Amino acid sequence: MSNTVVQDVNALLADYTVLYQKLRNYHWNVTGPFFFGLHQQFETMYTEMAVTIDDLAERVLAAGGRPLSTLKEQLAAAHLKEDSDQPDAMGMVGNIVEDLQTLETSLRAAQNRAAEAGDETTETMLQDLANTQQKTIWMMKAFLG
């Protein structure tokens, strides 16, 4: 894996970590008529995201790199931002859609760079993640109406 690809995967690791924590925040703080559905959905999403975070870190390690391991490093490398507000349920879903769209764009760009570097393992991994994000975006947009 090239240095560029390692940097890309580390940036994705950082973004997934930020989104993971945002989902936990929303899981803990969602209220209103959508509470039961969103509380469970956010938990499902962050539980799945924990596996993705581990897979990305292990991909960096397998390539001889060092995964970004501290919150400070991850926040500095992430494109996504923490949410210091407490939006309502629909605002939470809207924020997640925006983050997932940013992630999908980053995944596709990193996937292309991995392909250019001849790194089929990383290319396939990122393509699978991007496809998953695309489906989740569609589902969350359907919820928003």
The string of pLDDT tens digits covering residues 58-92 is 999 998 899 999 999 999 999 999 998 899 999 99
Contacts of 9 (CB under 8 A, 6+ apart): 1, 56, 59, 60, 63, 65, 110, 122, 126
What pLDDT is stored for residue 130 in this prediction?
96
Quick one: DSSP state of residue 67? -
What pTM does this model have? Answer: 0.95
| Domains present along the chain, CATH in parentheses | 3-144 (1.20.1260.10)
What pLDDT is stored for residue 63 in this prediction?
86
What pLDDT is stored for residue 1 in this prediction?
72
Spell out the per-residue pLDDT of the chain, length 145, in tens.
789 999 999 999 999 999 999 999 999 999 999 999 999 999 999 999 999 999 999 999 998 899 999 999 999 999 999 998 899 999 999 999 999 999 999 999 999 999 999 999 999 999 999 999 999 999 999 999 9
